[in-house]
Amino acid sequence: MKKIILLVVFWVSIAKIHAQQKTFLLAKEQLKDKIMGGWAGQTIGVTFGGPYEFRFQGTFIGDYQPLVWYDGYLKKTMLNDPGLYDDLYMDLTFVDVFEKYGLDAPADSFAHAIAQADYELWHANQVARYNILNGIKPPMSGYWKHNPHADCIDYQIESDFAGLMSPAMPNTASAISDKIGHIMNYGDGWYGGVYVGAMYALAFTSHNINFIVTEALKTIPVQSEFYQCIADVIAWHKKYPADWKQTWFQVQKKWAEDIGCPDGVFAPFDIDAKVNAAYVTIGLLYGNGDFTKTLEITTRCGQDADCNPSTAGGVLGAMIGYDHIPAYWKMGLKEIEDIDFKYTTMSLNKVYETGYRHALMNIEKNGGKISGDSVIIKTQQPQAVKFEKSFTGLYPVAKTNATWSSNKDEFSFEFEGTGFVVKGDAVDWKNIKTKFVYNTELYVDGKLIESPKLPAAREARRYDICWNYDLSKGKHVVRMKILNPAPDQNFTIGDIIIYSEAPVNGISMHPAK
Which of 416, 421, 423 shows the shortest CA–CA distance to 477? 416
Global pTM reads: 0.94
3-class secondary-structure state, position 133: helix
Which of 221, 131, 201, 112 shows the shortest CA–CA distance to 159? 201
Mean pLDDT to the nearest integer, 465-492: 92
Q: What 3 state SS string does 134-199 have? A: CCCCCCCCCCCCCCCCCCECHHHHCCHHHHHCCCCCHHHHHHHHHHHHCCCCCCHHHHHHHHHHHH
Give the start-end residues of each E strand in 314-435: 369-371, 374-378, 395-400, 403-404, 410-417, 419-425
What percentage of the chain reaches a pLDDT higher than 90?
A: 88
- How far apart, in whole angstroms, are the C-alpha atoms of residue 430 and residue 416? 37
Interval 362-374: pLDDT, tens: 999 999 999 999 9
Q: What is the DSSP letter of 338?
A: T
List helix spans (H) across 204-272: 209-217, 225-239, 244-255
Q: Are 89 and 96 in contact (CB under 8 A)?
A: no
State the pLDDT at residue 509.
46
**Mean model confidence pLDDT for the chain:** 93
State the pLDDT at residue 15.
34
- How far apart, in whole angstroms, are the C-alpha atoms of residue 95 and residue 93? 5
Q: Are 250 and 236 in contact (CB under 8 A)?
A: yes
What domains sit in the chain, N to C, each tagged with a CATH number?
A: 23-378 (1.10.4080.10), 395-500 (2.60.120)
Residue 384 has pLDDT above 80, yes or no: yes
Q: Are 437 and 456 in contact (CB under 8 A)?
A: yes
Burial class (CB in 10 A: 0-12, 13-18, 19+), 331: middle
Which of 375, 365, 359, 295 shows the shortest CA–CA distance to 328? 295
State the pLDDT at residue 406.
67
Q: What 3 state SS string does 256-318 have? A: CCCCCCCCCCCCCCCCEHHHHHHHHHHHHHHHCCCHHHHHHHHHHCCCCCCHHHHHHHHHHHH
Instruction: Please list, in sequence order, all residues whose beta carbon lies within 8 angstroms of the beta carbon of residue 235, skipping any fewer than 6 positions away.
Output: none
Type of residue found at 202: L
Q: Please count the residues of the chain.
A: 513
Interval 309-326: pLDDT, tens: 999 999 999 999 999 999
pLDDT band at 5 (very low <50, low <70, confident <90, very high): very low
Find how far residue 358's CA is from the centre of its chain.
22
* Low-confidence winner among 259-268, 301-310, 387-396, 422-431 (lowest mean pLDDT): 422-431
Type of residue found at 318: A
- How far apart, in whole angstroms, are the C-alpha atoms of residue 224 and residue 426? 35
According to DSSP, the residues that pair with 442 across neighbouring strands are 450, 480
- How far apart, in whole angstroms, are the C-alpha atoms of residue 238 and residue 250? 13
Instruction: Please list, in sequence order, all residues whose beta carbon lies within 8 angstroms of the beta carbon of residue 350, skipping any fewer than 6 positions away.
Output: 340
Type of residue found at 46: V
Find how far residue 427's CA is from the centre of its chain.
25
Interval 131-166: pLDDT, tens: 999 999 999 999 999 999 999 999 999 999 999 999
State the pLDDT at residue 507.
57
Strand pairing class (437-444; 474-482)? antiparallel
